[in-house]
Structure 1
Amino acid sequence: MEGRKKMQITAQLDDLVAGHVSSLFAQLPEAEGDFSAIHPPKATQAVLSLATFTPACPPKRSTTDRFQDLYPPELKEFNGENGKPIYFAVKGTVFDVSPGRSFYGPGGWYENFAGRDASRGLACGSFDEDMLTKDLQGPLDNLKGLRDDEMAALADWEAKFQEKYMVIGNLVSVGAKKS
């Protein structure tokens, strides 16, 4: 299955299955109410994690919230390891995706995006490491070379994150003035 399709299916699972997984797995005789008795493959583990994952409604931004600009090396620190929150950037906007730790944190399907600019990977439907900017001290990814359909896919992801997660700030190039 191509990466983009896999990401779309994952997003659909995130949106559609969350309310139904518990009742479906409770009907399995081998589970007997104890989901730890099932040793599923990684894809099923992701679905099972939805059974206990309740998306948090992001708090409304108040005028006293501290909006922060982050340089890529600073963003990289927020990868979910050692109990840290999980942030990543999409088109220059930094989101706190910590409520989706099972997806974006260590061991999750999207873990390589944690602490990074995820824009190109989301646009291309790819989890590959080469979708991430290598030089964190260099310029931000300007997304050149993306097709119109990839930019449209990225806009869809951005809208989803805007709706679901709290905006922390902006990603800015090292050396750029922070606001």
Structure 2
Amino acid sequence: MPHSPPLPPVPEAIPIVTPLNLILFSLVIYVGYLRFRTPATPIISRPTPIVYRKYTPLTLLPYNGTDKPQVFLAVSCKVYDVTPGKGFYGPGGPYESFAGRDASRGLAKGSFDAEVLSDENGTIDTLEDLNEEEKVSLRGWEEHFGGKYAVVGELVENGEDGDEEEEGVSKA
């Protein structure tokens, strides 16, 4: 009988389920999950809208960043929401004495002293005694606030329409 050549050895079958394959498969599934999952929608809290209203010196006073979180100040009878600039106008800021007040005279004179602030129980300062340089300074501040902050109301005398209102809703 003729001698036949030996048959080549048959390679052993490599199992599909090995620890390495399981790790790689798990990694592919995890990366696919991260790639195709829908991202969580962030919940953005919106601030309470501020309604344009009339403020008196007494109703403006709580908007100083301490009593209420918002910071308002008045310049030439316009009330501005300066909350975005709370670092300047809020508690601890360089202009904190103007928060919740009529800041017109102090800004016109470039003074932070308490004696330039009008009395919240008195009448609104007419600013008639300002000199021309102070009037120009005040107009510059009006332009600054008008271009940077929202006007949220007007300043009226104590006892006028603003006293009985809270958050822009009349108590009729």
**TM-score, normalisation: structure 2:** 0.63
CA distance in 2, matches of 1:111, 1:118: 10
- Provide the C-alpha distance between the structure 1 equivalents of 2:71 and 2:104, rounded to a whole number of angstroms: 16
1:19-39 deviation per Cα after TM superposition (whole angstroms, max 9, x unaligned): xxxxxxxxxxxxxxxxxxxxx
Of residues 121, 124, 127, the one that matches 1:143 is 127
Structure 1 residues 65 and 160: alpha-carbon distance in aligned structure 2, compared to 1, 3 A threshold: same
CA contact (8 A) 2:80 2:153 kept: yes
CA distance in 1, matches of 2:50, 2:91: 28
**Equivalent pair of 2:124/2:156 in contact (CA under 8 Å):** yes
1:160 corresponds, among 136, 140, 144, to 144
Structure 1 residue 82, shift from structure 2 partner: 5.0
Partner of 2:55: 70
Consecutive aligned runs of 4 or more in structure 1 exceeding 6 Å deviation: none
- Change beyond 3 A, Cα 1:77–1:83: closer
Shift of 1:133: 0.8
Please state how far the C-alpha of 1:65 moved relative to its aligned partner. Answer: 6.9
Deviation by residue 1:70-122 (Cα, 9 ceiling, x = unmatched): 11111000000155100000000000000001100000000000000000000
User: Offset of 1:139 from its aligned partner?
Assistant: 1.1
2:58 counterpart SS class: helix
Q: After TM superposition, list the pairs within 5 Å mapping 1:1-179 onto structure 2.
A: 66-81=51-66, 84-134=69-119, 136-178=120-162
Cα contact 2:54–2:161 (8 A) shared by 1: no
Please name the residue that 1:25 is paired with.
none
User: Percent identity among equivalent residues?
Assistant: 45
Q: Secondary structure at the match of 1:81?
A: coil
Unaligned 5+ residue runs, structure 1? 1-63
Given the two structures, how large is their TM-score scaled by the length of structure 1?
A: 0.61
Aligned alpha-carbon RMSD (Å): 1.8
